Structure 1
Amino acid sequence: MNILILGGSDGSFNQIRPEYEMYIGLKNRGHKITIVIKPDSVYLPRLKEIGVKLLFCYPDQKISLKTIIALRRELSNIHYDIIFANSSKTIPSAAIAATGFPAKLVTYRGTTGGAYRHDPTNYLTILNPIADGVVCVSEAVRQYLLPRFRNRKTRLITIHKGHDIAWYKNPPTSLLEFGITNNDFPIACVANARAYKGLKYLLEAAKSLAHISNLHIILVGRNISVEPYISLIAKSGMAERIHMTGFRHDAPEIIAACKTLIIPSIREGLPRVLLESMGYGVPPIATDSGGCAEVVDDEESGYIVPVKDPDAISDRVIRLYENPQLIQSMSKKCLRKIAADLSIQVTVDRYIHFFETLLNNNSSTS
């Protein structure tokens, strides 16, 4: 297959690695790939090193005339089988450029919520009527989108973002900067503070954990040192042991230094930090929002708790605190889960199969 990809260029190396390693996996399987990318993308050196064809016409807005012209020129000169646009910023220009060409247009959705049929802008992006397929990061996302695609030819499929435990070999970050020693029990939460991330429920759970004198909570992400979080921390009974780091490039290594990762979200697609945590063998405690329950085997490789339930969060933390052997057991199962079911190789296989299915359906009906 010849595949034209409009990938996501923003973010740190860790943030975009699963996406770009999937593209590289397609190339390694013998498929031709061309990637539309920003010239300042942190993944550019890696792509150049292995000889990926690159186009520097990444859209600077949802409808970018320069991008559309450049893509149509490319599509006129070279036959492509698949056009894959994986963000709301790239889908509109890709869809307009693809009009009149035989390539199948495939889009991507990484979150539940927001795909409102009464919002006309969504028909430029995720509800675009010319899309032949939509890759959903979790079954929860697919189920959310299905009613919005009734009576349409667009095919929706769930493909989890694959990871590789070889990516998670960096040593854990030292937590001494927070006054945390090897005798302490640190837990992490990594999220930019938005209401749907559910951080308030973790901070409410802290009230039931404050009696554990060596337990620390590390909050990694932007916009946490504001209300209502400041007041919740002050009322937690353990304010001096709740540490706000702001954005950190070493967030995965901070998770690796902790006993568990808490994901208290109200809604999710499939949080990247969940897979990073499991890649480091750190068992997560996650709500049953989005794809979390699809990935975590409850009471085996971590815990799944109801949304908006601080008592359930604190209960699972205490279980881990009181049973170090359980952490070790869950850690091994996390690593096995990534290697067996959530590997980058499995993801590449599923993308290839989906793309080929779209193309074969076209040939069988033509």
Structure 2
Amino acid sequence: MKKINLLAVTHHDRENINPIRPEASQIIGLHLSGKVNVIVLCNPGSGLIPYFEKHGIEVLIDPLNKKFSVSTIKTIRRLLRERSIDVLHLFNNIACSNGATAAIGLKVKVVAYRGQTGNISRLDPSCYLTMLHPRLDRIICVAKAVEDDLKQHVWGNKSKVVTVYKGHDQAWYQKEKADLSDMNLPVSSFKLSLVANLRPRKGLHIFMQALAMLPKEMDIDVLLVGADPHSEQVKKMIKLSEREQQVHALGYRTDAPEVAAASDVTILPTTKREGLCRAVLEANSYGIPSIVSDTGGNAELVKNGVTGIVVPPGEPAALAEAILQLYNDREKCKAFGVAARNRVIDKFNVKQGVDATLAVYKDMLDAQHTE
């Protein structure tokens, strides 16, 4: 069988590799499958470059810094023709708007990535450069909830929207848990972590309101990774908890997974527009269970009553009750953690992500050959 010629276009300027390891592992896995010739186009200085080159993947460079760049479009279009590309896989909005436009009039199959629910409308012209771009042949969603949401908006063939879970490798989660000794936290305290870029929809205010509802004598500490300790808004939020001495804003940390590993439970009280939360997958990979709100792909990540607890979004009382349940039953908490780790290994591994992506490519190309 002829190998598939793939051009993957991605843009990242993060120094921290944690958020983009699943994407890199998928591209590398496609290359190592023996079924795909992979070329990557990414921005100069991308933290992914050494990972790709280490595995013998050809990496080409483009600024990829504008949603619509004539220069970038010309570069992608030239590569599609010169390299006889079969599949163009676009991993973010910048890649999508330029790449899908570059593919107009060519036979190449075009795949885009969708990572969260919401924020899309048929009435928004900018959406026609990304998820509603008429040149897209498939849109791979990170969760079934994202797929279901997007299908309400795309025109024409709804079956072009599919789900492939991102793959996580347990080798990434072998470090020691974060050393928090400088914080002088009581060894006995029940530790709750929230790891998130704290946009309003991440539900910090819901979490803080839930803490205020818990019995005052509870021995807990709360670790907020991503919360700027100097932010007046964050300070205001923490005040809602009525536990200011027990809530610790740790700011940005590159060892966020290891901080979660140092907790007993990780919390994700998102109010809307969630995808498949990486922070939950990371915590679960360390055997830490989660309490999450039922929005986006959260309920696909956490099996309620087996690997964690799923609560209604925007309801602090329900969140407080879930925290209290695990606080009072440490054996159940530990059992949830073991089950959560096993679920990540079984359902969210790298191989399933690579195999499912290959199946999407094959389905598109087989359909092309029968046309």
Normalising by the smaller structure, the TM-score range is over 0.9
Q: Which residue of 2 aligns with 1:186?
A: 191
Decide whether aligned partners of structure 1 residues 225 and 285 sit closer, same or farther in structure 2, where only a CA change above 3 A counts: farther
Is contact 2:112–2:136 with CA below 8 Å preserved after alignment? yes
Correspondence 1:337 to 2:361? no
The secondary structure found in structure 2 opposite 1:148 is coil
Q: Which residue of 2 aligns with 1:358?
A: 364
- Show the 5 A alignment for 1:114-263: 114-152=119-157, 155-209=160-214, 211-222=216-227, 226=231, 228-263=233-268
Residue by residue over 1:59-116, the C-alpha shift from the partner in whole angstroms, topping out at 9 and shown as x without a partner, is 1101122222222221221111110111111111101211222110111111111111
Distance in 2 between residues matched to 1:58 and 1:39, nearest whole Å: 6
Distance in 1 between residues matched to 2:43 and 2:339, nearest whole Å: 38
Is contact 1:36–1:58 with CA below 8 Å preserved after alignment? no
CA deviation after TM superposition for structure 1 residue 42, in Å? 1.6
TM-score, reference length from structure 2: 0.94
Worse overlay, 307-316 or 197-206: 307-316
CA deviation after TM superposition for structure 1 residue 271, in Å? 1.2
Is contact 1:136–1:157 with CA below 8 Å preserved after alignment? yes
Is contact 2:227–2:234 with CA below 8 Å preserved after alignment? no
Q: Could you tell me which of 86, 99, 105 is aligned with 2:91?
A: 86
Residue by residue over 1:7-66, the C-alpha shift from the partner in whole angstroms, topping out at 9 and shown as x without a partner, is 242332001000000100001101111111122112221211111111101411011222
Worse overlay, 9-18 or 258-267: 9-18
Distance in 2 between residues matched to 1:290 and 1:153, nearest whole Å: 19
Distance in 1 between residues matched to 2:232 and 2:148, nearest whole Å: 34
Is contact 1:6–1:58 with CA below 8 Å preserved after alignment? no
Is contact 2:67–2:93 with CA below 8 Å preserved after alignment? yes
Decide whether aligned partners of structure 1 residues 356 and 224 sit closer, same or farther in structure 2, where only a CA change above 3 A counts: farther
Distance in 1 between residues matched to 2:158 and 2:306, nearest whole Å: 39
Worse overlay, 184-193 or 279-288: 184-193
Distance in 2 between residues matched to 1:190 and 1:304, nearest whole Å: 17
Decide whether aligned partners of structure 1 residues 83 and 109 sit closer, same or farther in structure 2, where only a CA change above 3 A counts: same
Q: Quick one: percent identity of the two aligned structures?
A: 31
What RMSD, in angstroms, separates the aligned Cα atoms of the two structures? 1.6
Distance in 2 between residues matched to 1:262 and 1:333, nearest whole Å: 17
Q: Which residue of 2 aligns with 1:65?
A: 70
Q: Which residue of 1 aligns with 2:28?
A: 24
Q: How many residues align?
A: 365
Correspondence 1:7 to 2:10? yes
TM-score, reference length from structure 1: 0.96
Distance in 1 between residues matched to 2:89 and 2:286, nearest whole Å: 30
CA deviation after TM superposition for structure 1 residue 223, in Å? 5.2
Distance in 2 between residues matched to 1:304 and 1:224, nearest whole Å: 28
Query: Which contiguous aligned blocks of 4+ residues in structure 1 show a shift greater than 3 angstroms?
Result: 222-229
Distance in 2 between residues matched to 1:127 and 1:156, nearest whole Å: 11
Is contact 1:175–1:181 with CA below 8 Å preserved after alignment? no
* 2:226 aligned partner, one-letter code: G
Q: Which residue of 2 aligns with 1:74?
A: 79
Q: Which residue of 1 aligns with 2:296?
A: 290
Residue by residue over 1:328-362, the C-alpha shift from the partner in whole angstroms, topping out at 9 and shown as x without a partner, is 21111111101111111111110000111011111
CA deviation after TM superposition for structure 1 residue 177, in Å? 2.6
CA deviation after TM superposition for structure 1 residue 236, in Å? 2.3
Residue by residue over 1:170-207, the C-alpha shift from the partner in whole angstroms, topping out at 9 and shown as x without a partner, is 11001223221432211101112212111100000111
The secondary structure found in structure 1 opposite 2:121 is coil
Distance in 1 between residues matched to 2:84 and 2:301, nearest whole Å: 37
Residue by residue over 1:295-321, the C-alpha shift from the partner in whole angstroms, topping out at 9 and shown as x without a partner, is 211011111000011111111111111
Q: Which residue of 2 aligns with 1:55?
A: 60
